[in-house]
Amino acid sequence: MDVLTRSATPRTAVSPAPADTALISMPFGPISMPSIGLGLLSAGLASKEIRSRTLYFNLKFAGRLGTERYIRISRYHPPYDQIGDWIFSAALFGDDAEATQRYIDEILKGRTTAFREGHYTNRPYPDEHIEMLLEARRLAPAFLEECAAEVLATRPRIVGFTTTFEQNVASLSLARLIKEAAPETLIVFGGANCEGSMGQALVRHFPFVDVAVSGEGDTAFPLLAEQFLRDGTIPLFKSVSCQDARRRRSRQLMAQPAPPVVMDSLPFCEYDDFFEQVERYGVDAGEVHWIPFETSRGCWWGEKHHCTFCGLNGAVMTYRSKSDQRAFDELLYLTDRYPNRAVQVVDNILDNRYFKTLLPRLAELDQEFELFYEVKANLKKEQLRLMKRVGITSIQPGIESLSTEVLALMRKGISGIQNVQLLKWSKELGIDVQWNILWGFPGETAEGYAETARLIPLLVHLQPPASVPPIRLDRFSPNFDQAEQMGFRDVAPYPAALLTYHALPPEAVFELSYYFIYDQAHWDTALGYTRPVAEQWSRWQRLHPAADLFFVDKGSALLLWDLRDDAPDHRPVTVLDGARRLVYLGCDAIRTAASLSRDLGLEEGAVQAALDDLTSRGLMMREGSSYLSLAIPTGVYQPNARVLRRVEQHLQRVGVAA
């Protein structure tokens, strides 16, 4: 029997226990880890002795589709195509044949002429992928009926949905069915899709959504649930949007702020329901990689200088972090309760205080961790070493560009040479770096990208960016909030959103959307001056697996292997001695000629001559008066097998035994 049409009957029958509140995660939420939002709310409700049950219907749909197919749909397409939402749109709005065919033609088959050239690359999906999406869409109505029956069997008085990115339409579809079957049930939406005006729009355009909670619901939702279960009214916090009927029933006439979230007072998350349902719904447990963990909220950099393209945090940018003791205790609790799982820290940025508090404490433990963190790229090498010792093996440093000029337009507060320094040290220490090169910023010049295109051939031994896309216009970003002043014209939802929410007027879709398309005066020229960067990026990806630039220091001489070029006549070996060796080693971190002269005790003229020679050979990077060696020292770092084969082949060509 085909996996798409097999029965959805759970492997093990479960008698639903009554619950005051049902908390729901719908497709296409990730199945690689549980929801930290629902984990926090479940624990918060328990602290008020409110019975709740968490239902991971994203796992249920993954079990129905097959894990691999679910992952292909949820992970491997641009988020602005909104494929996950479109799969459930007919169940919510009815199947409009014209809108369905337009989505297939314009989004899936890439036949549209409506998208603005250079801003939206609409590549066609393979026919077999399109058929998989259509079959998933056909399964949606029956799946939703089964989910509604499972929810109603627990007889909840409140049903809460978490909705982020492509969970909106599936959540709305199920909420409508529940409301039709049990009108007295309070339907509450929360999550990133409810932030600010988006939550208000959900309540305004979908009457079966009683309440939308914007922003942090950790204190607001348990208090809301407690009051509603007690007397049927709703506290009108400023972060809560309600249907008018519910608003009239409230005893509170003036909206008040919800009690503030105190980071150390948050409960420890419970994810038992998630792992029980992974097994029950037959999801491949090998694809469940992460335990989400939180040590801070907001962004300490964004508080001072909000990056122009960043739409994270919504209106709550204020940075708050847990004490090192609380973070320490919680991490040990989670890794003990859910062993053999990597930990994904969901913070927007690592608290710099932790380099002196939390991380040294973790490093002293006789315990291996596997952690992911988002960081700022201006880290020192000793900080990266400490992170590696702790088990932070993957980072997202927000590099975004190798051009200092473009980085200044973003308000990143960092230089291109600092970003390269981080990439170099991360390779040496074995830390994976997740990053992209962005373009299309108002005020950028062709020279910034020409310099990047000239630089990339020197960096092919370092980890390449995952992509080189134009910037998106995301809600809550300065670019969006100040679109006209920034030079963004004709701002509109992506075409996929208009076709997914085809029953709503365009202005309603605008209110619900997070991603937007736009025009800029310099698009045509930007396409030209960024093309060399895209071409060099493709070459970078091709060469990187067998490319390297490393050295072995023999004391009196430094033997440097340059395997960044795949030309057959390339001569990969350079020997550095005397001042050139000292200067090269001295530029492991970014240095100036004056500081090197002082520290090495050499004449500045001799230092500058060595810097000029090494830069001309492409062995160092120069930015203004700053220099950085690009080769990786062997020791902690060891070249991979493909690189070592190239070394051996060269030695054989010159008649030296390996």
What is the SS3 assignment for 537-592?
HHHHHHHHHHCCEEEEECCCEEEEEECCCCCCCCCCEEEEEHHHHHHHHHCCCCEE
Same structural domain, 199 and 71: yes
> Which CATH number do you get for residue 579?
1.10.10.10
What's the structural domain count of the chain? 3
> Which CATH number do you get for residue 254?
3.40.50.280
Instruction: Characterise 129 by phi-psi region: left (phi > 0), alpha (psi -120 to 50), beta (else).
Output: alpha
Q: DSSP letter at 104?
A: I
pLDDT at 129 (0 to 100):
95
User: Phi/psi at 388 (nearest 5 deg)?
Assistant: -65, -40
pLDDT at 654 (0 to 100):
76
Q: Other CB atoms closer than 10 Å to residue 540's CB: what's the count? A: 22
Same structural domain, 218 and 296: no
The span from the CA of 229 to the CA of 657, in Å, is 80
Q: Please tell me the total number of residues recorded for the chain in this structure.
A: 658
Q: Which of 8-12, 46-50, 609-613 has the lowest mean pLDDT?
A: 8-12
Of the residues 403, 435, 467, which one is the last residue of a structural domain?
435
Give domain status of residue 106, yes or no.
Answer: no
Categorize the per-residue pLDDT at 11 as very low, low, confident or very high, splitting at 50, 70 and 90. very low
Categorize the per-residue pLDDT at 236 as very low, low, confident or very high, splitting at 50, 70 and 90. confident
Q: Which of 302-316, 471-485, 516-530, 567-581 is most confident?
A: 471-485
pLDDT at 353 (0 to 100):
97
Give domain status of residue 118, yes or no.
Answer: no
Categorize the per-residue pLDDT at 621 as very low, low, confident or very high, splitting at 50, 70 and 90. very high
* pLDDT per residue as tens digits for the range 343-356: 999 999 999 999 99
pLDDT at 656 (0 to 100):
65
Same structural domain, 239 and 354: no
Average pLDDT over residues 591-602: 97
Give domain status of residue 503, yes or no.
Answer: no
Same structural domain, 352 and 423: yes
Is 0.85 surpassed by the pTM of this model?
yes
Same structural domain, 294 and 251: no
Using DSSP, state whether 206 is helix, strand or coil.
Answer: coil
The full DSSP string for 408-433 is HHHT----HHHHHHHHHHHHHHT-EE
The span from the CA of 527 to the CA of 642, in Å, is 35
How does the average pLDDT of the chain come out, rounded?
91
The span from the CA of 43 to the CA of 268, in Å, is 7
Same structural domain, 257 and 293: no
Spatial contact of 236 and 256, defined as CB atoms under 8 Å apart: yes
Return all residues near 152 (Cβ < 8 A) that are at least 6 apart. Answer: 178, 181, 182
Give domain status of residue 572, yes or no.
Answer: yes
Per-residue pLDDT at 657 exceeds 60: no
Same structural domain, 258 and 294: no
Same structural domain, 301 and 239: no
Cis peptide before 28 (omega within 30 of 0): yes
pLDDT at 122 (0 to 100):
62
Per-residue pLDDT at 652 exceeds 90: no
Give me the amino acid identity at 540.
W
The span from the CA of 305 to the CA of 412, in Å, is 8
Q: Which domain holds residue 615?
A: 548-653
Angle formed by the axes of helices 57-65 and 272-280, to 10°? 20
Per-residue pLDDT at 33 exceeds 60: yes
- Cα three-residue angle 197-199-203, rounded to 5 degrees: 115
Same structural domain, 337 and 411: yes
Q: Which of 49-63, 141-155, 314-328 has the lowest mean pLDDT?
A: 314-328
Average pLDDT over residues 189-204: 95
Average pLDDT over residues 162-171: 96
Higher-scoring residue by pLDDT: 78, 38: 38
pLDDT at 484 (0 to 100):
93
Using DSSP, state whether 320 is helix, strand or coil.
Answer: strand
Which stretch of DSSP H or E encloses residue 287? none
Q: Which of 16-30, 192-206, 643-657 has the lowest mean pLDDT?
A: 643-657
Give domain status of residue 261, yes or no.
Answer: yes
Q: For the range 125-128, what are the long-range contacts, defined as Cβ-Cβ under 8 Å and sequence gap of 24 or more? A: 125/77
Return all residues near 127 (Cβ < 8 A) that are at least 6 apart. Answer: none
Per-residue pLDDT at 44 exceeds 90: yes
> Which CATH number do you get for residue 306?
3.20.20.70
Using DSSP, state whether 439 is helix, strand or coil.
Answer: strand
Return all residues near 148 (Cβ < 8 A) that are at least 6 apart. Answer: 174, 177, 178, 181
Same structural domain, 255 and 199: yes
Categorize the per-residue pLDDT at 568 as very low, low, confident or very high, splitting at 50, 70 and 90. low
Higher-scoring residue by pLDDT: 251, 636: 636
Of the residues 435, 452, 476, which one is the last residue of a structural domain?
435
Same structural domain, 157 and 303: no
Of the residues 408, 435, 462, which one is the last residue of a structural domain?
435
pLDDT at 205 (0 to 100):
97
Give domain status of residue 457, yes or no.
Answer: no
Average pLDDT over residues 575-585: 97
Q: DSSP letter at 161?
A: E
Give domain status of residue 237, yes or no.
Answer: yes
Average pLDDT over residues 496-525: 93
Give domain status of residue 296, yes or no.
Answer: yes
Same structural domain, 345 and 389: yes
Per-residue pLDDT at 255 exceeds 70: no
The proportion of the chain whose per-residue pLDDT surpasses 70, expressed as a percent, equals: 93
